[in-house]
Structure 1
Amino acid sequence: MNDLIIVGAGGFARETAAAAVAAGRRVLGFADDDPALHGTVRSGLPILGGVAEVVGTYDAAVVVCVGNPRDYTARKRIVDRLGLTPDRYATVIHPAASLGSGSVVGPGSVLLAGTVLTADVVVGSHVAVMPQAVLTHDDRVLDYATIASGVRLGGGAVLDTGAYVGSGALIREGVTVGAWSLVGMGSVVLRDIPSGEVWAGNPARLLRSSSS
């Protein structure tokens, strides 16, 4: 499917629309559950209606582009609610992104301009990678992770399911960031981070549980 519906209408959704257009896709518009947005236009594209209604109406591929550091589980909640098969989801890769040999990107994931995957990097499904992030050899990024702009992952690093890494953070080679943990922007992570925690600083240290 060349036609695309983008779920969400915030900044990441609009950035994804621009990347999709640059990659030659036809973006039909956005789907958002805020009724105040329906019928309005963002970045030259219409907000077509609520998520379930739009996705069920249009014969188009879908990419879910929601979530922020205050609610980075939103993408998974919407994907779970929609219950679509993986082949319905688009993979959006900006033409200015670079994918090295052996690298793979799963359905529903987005790589914005300037992203670099050097070699044998595995990116799962519904992953968001913002501009100028660098993922080096043998990194593994699991489903629903978010990598903000300017992040650098050393070789063999692992971002577990739903992990969120803030802008400009550096992750040492071989380090694992646990599932649904958050790394604050500009942090330097030198050791493994358990699941469900918030870390920040240089070197990064535990601040709190991600659920508190």
Structure 2
Amino acid sequence: MRPLVLAAAGGLAREVVEAVRAAQPGRDLRVVDDDPARRGDALHGAPVVGGTETVAALGDVEVVVCAGHGAVRRRLVDRLLASGVDRRQFATIVHPAVSVPVNCRIGAGSVLLAGVVLTSDVVVGEHVVVMPNVTLTHDVVVDDYATLCAGVSLGGGVRVGPAAYLGMNAAVRQGLRIGAGATLGMAAALIKDLPAGETWTGVPARNATATMRQAS
């Protein structure tokens, strides 16, 4: 089994360390981070061996980008590719408590933490982060670099656009679309499509900027 390199030494990386140890005890884990102060440090026992520019020089390793926000993950992936990392090196991390049906697909570089449920015909893109206890029901599609925080529930046929961010315990009615780069707030209930780049909050969820203007 090839060593696994975690890029970005934050909270998500600590969660990924535990998920990997649960699934693959004894795997060689290494961490890279662009903060020079982290060099020579360790993350839950995994050594911080250098910056992201050093990954290509580490040789035959797998890589997972552990930045919590999709836009940051995208930038890190682009930098890794530009430095010589091959797309085929990106690993998919699935906690052993997650059952992935044979008719579901998970892209390279994505992370699914404990308690995630996929029911049927779910497609998760590349470099997606799905936090604990998220529910993805039939025909859900989650595009690249999206982030689904703990407790998110998506009804059947929901489409989550690239780099969208869904806050903890948000719920989305079946058949809706969430646009690229959109944000849905914590505990929000979405009952109509959320346009790209907008931030919606509340129950039912509404455009947060428009709501603040009306209140003033």
Q: What per-residue deviation string (whole Å, max 9, x for no partner) do you get for residues 114-168 of structure 1?
A: 1111100000000000000010000000000000000000000000111110100
Per-residue Cα deviation, 1:90-136 (whole angstroms, up to 9, x for no partner): 00000001212410000000000111111000000000000000100
Residue in 2 aligned with 1:198?
Answer: 199
Q: Residue 78 of structure 1 aligns with which residue?
A: 76
Q: Does 1:123 align with 2:124?
A: yes
**Aligned mates of 1:28, 1:93 — CA distance in 2:** 16
Q: For 1:5 and 1:35, locate their aligned partners in 2 and report how far apart those are by CA, in whole Å.
A: 17
Aligned residues: 206
Amino acid across the alignment from 2:75: R
Distance in 2 (alpha carbons) for counterparts of 1:76 and 1:86? 13
> Residues of 1 paired with 2:183 and 2:42: CA distance?
32
Task: Report Cα offsets for 1:162-197 as digits up to 9, x if no partner.
Answer: 111010000110011100101111000011011011
Larger strand fraction of residues: 1
TM-score (norm 2): 0.91
Aligned pair 1:6/2:6, yes or no?
A: yes
| Letter matched to residue 114 of structure 2 | A
Change (3 A) 1:54 1:156: same
TM-score (norm 1): 0.93
Please say if residues 135 and 152 of structure 1, whose CA atoms lie closer than 8 Å, have aligned partners that are also in contact: yes
Corresponding position of 1:38: 39
Equivalent-residue separation in structure 1 for 2:120 and 2:86 (angstroms): 28
1:21 is matched with 21
Shift in Å at residue 3 of structure 1? 1.7
Q: Does 1:162 align with 2:163?
A: yes
Aligned partners of 1:37 and 1:47 also within 8 Å: yes
Q: What does 1:89-168 correspond to in 2, within 5 Å?
A: 89-168=90-169
Matched residue type, 2:79 = R
> Matched residues, percent identical?
47
> What CA distance in whole angstroms lies between the structure 1 residues aligned with 2:166 and 2:73?
15
Q: How big is the shift at 1:55?
A: 4.0
Task: Confirm or deny: 8 A CA contact 2:153 2:170 kept in the other structure.
Answer: yes
| Superposition deviation, residue 45 in structure 1 | 1.3
Greater fraction helix: 2
Q: Is the 8 A contact 2:2 2:60 kept in 1?
A: no
Q: Which amino acid aligns with 1:134?
A: T
Kept in 2: contact 1:21–1:27 (CA 8 A): no
Match of 2:190 in 1: 189
Q: Conserved in 2, the CA contact under 8 Å of 1:94 and 1:113?
A: yes
Counterpart secondary structure, 1:98: coil
Q: Which of the two has higher C-alpha Rg?
A: 2
Partner AA of 1:80 in structure 2: D
Do the aligned partners of 2:117 and 2:134 also contact (CA within 8 Å) in 1?
yes
For 1:5, what is the secondary structure of its paired residue?
strand
Greater CA deviation, 21-30 or 148-157? Answer: 21-30
The answer to whether the Cα contact below 8 Å between 1:30 and 1:46 also exists between their aligned partners in 2 is: yes
- Residues 126 and 61 of structure 1, relative CA distance in 2, 3 Å threshold: same
